Structure 1
Amino acid sequence: MFGCLVAGRLVQAAPQQVAEDKFVFDLPDYENINHVVVFMLGTIPFPEGMGGSVYFCYPDQSGMAVWQLLGFVTNEKPSAIFKISGLKSGKGSQHPFGAMNLPQTPTVAQIGISVELLENLAQQTPVASAAVSSVDSFTEFFLCGSGLALQHVPFFYSAC
């Protein structure tokens, strides 16, 4: 149903299902990740009136899980790019993964997707610094992350 992509890594298309309506992707070596793409595979749509809240979880210095709301995906908006590089030292927020004992290791973060009513998604406030990147930012992310020389692409301005 969902996929997760980090630049320079293989696509993850098989999340761990931790509850009927909750899915988790592991992100090893998360300290070196700046952006993550979460998307629907197109094989199974959300039921009518449902969507998915996307959360980022990382272990704090004491090893406790810190969850932060990134945004959401829906049938009408089946993919999103999130900047997570500035979140690794922020405070957590309310999340639907609280009662679950998901294993945490010091170098592995997680992306969690919680299937929820669309009306509930509209009331949630994502972490501001995780704002969904625009196409221009994605292009910059791709060019910067791939090492392509920007002088060969004159119509782009970037601060790589």
Structure 2
Amino acid sequence: MFGLVVAGRPLQTNLQQIDETHALFELPAASSINHVCVCLLGTVPFPDGFGATVHFFWPGKGFQLLGMISNEKPSAIFRLRGTYSAQSTNAHAIFTGAAPDGISDVTAFLGLSIEPLPQIMAECAALPSAVGARSNPAADATLMAERIVRHLFNYLSSFVGGNPSALSPDIMIPMGLIAKWYENFMGKVRNSGIGFLENQ
């Protein structure tokens, strides 16, 4: 019924059934995963009024709700790298028995829970990336721009002895410093997403 595509890997259909409404995909070498796509294979639709919530499990951190799929939305792409925040709910504790503690090769799991659509919509409404959760795109863009500029400012101020007040409008900044910052910044974004900007 379900398929999973990890970016750069073949289609997975090796779903492990936990019970009638819960199933798991195993994700070996999970530290190298950036994005996953979960989809219905088109062979068996959901019963009317049902869909599935999609959860990501990282060993030792519990499950995190990523989103949902349904007959009306038969596939979804989720970004994993740089966005994980531990969040475990009792409603989905059924998954936690599938992953033993102390996994050394960092095998993660993607869990699917078949639920009524109204329940799914209520759960997904709380997600930061939910449609409508960002009611003001201009404010989001302003916040992101502010974080990027603050990152640049902190980087440049490190060259004047870590004293930001020493950066006055009269100081000349070599373009090579800005080019180096840009190269480092884009490397971080490519490797781990933009989560590091929130930690400033």
Shorter-chain-normalised TM-score: which range?
0.7 to 0.9
Aligned pair in 2 of structure 1 residues 27, 95: CA closer, same or farther (>3 Å)?
farther
Paired amino acid for 1:111: L
Match of 2:64 in 1: 68
Highest Rg: 1 or 2?
2
Match of 2:26 in 1: 26
Paired amino acid for 1:36: V
Q: Sequence identity of aligned pairs in percent?
A: 40
Match of 1:12 in 2: 12
Partner-residue secondary structure (3-state), 1:31: helix
TM-score between both structures, scaled by the size of structure 1: 0.72
Mapped to 2, the partners of 1:37 and 1:86 lie a distance apart of: 17
Structure 1 residues 106-145: aligned runs within 5 Å: 106=104, 107-125=106-124, 127-128=127-128
Paired amino acid for 2:74: P
Shift of 1:129: 6.4
**Higher fraction of strand:** 1
Q: For the aligned residues, what is the CA RMSD?
A: 2.2
**Higher fraction of helix:** 2
- Cα deviation code 1:87-146 (max 9, x no counterpart): 34x221325331451133231000000000001011013643699xxxxxxxxxxxxxxx
Shift of 1:46: 0.1
**Would you say the 8 A contact 1:87–1:129 is kept in 2?**
no
Paired amino acid for 1:68: Q
Deviating above 6 A after TM superposition, structure 1's stretches of 4 or more consecutive aligned residues are none
**Would you say the 8 A contact 1:68–1:95 is kept in 2?**
no
**How many residues are treated as equivalent by the alignment?**
128
Gapped regions of structure 2 (runs ≥ 5): 132-188, 191-200
Paired amino acid for 2:115: E
TM-score between both structures, scaled by the size of structure 2: 0.59
Match of 1:145 in 2: none
Paired amino acid for 1:78: P
**Would you say the 8 A contact 2:59–2:99 is kept in 1?**
no
Gapped regions of structure 1 (runs ≥ 5): 132-158
Partner-residue secondary structure (3-state), 2:71: coil
Paired amino acid for 1:98: A
Partner-residue secondary structure (3-state), 2:27: strand
Paired amino acid for 1:108: T
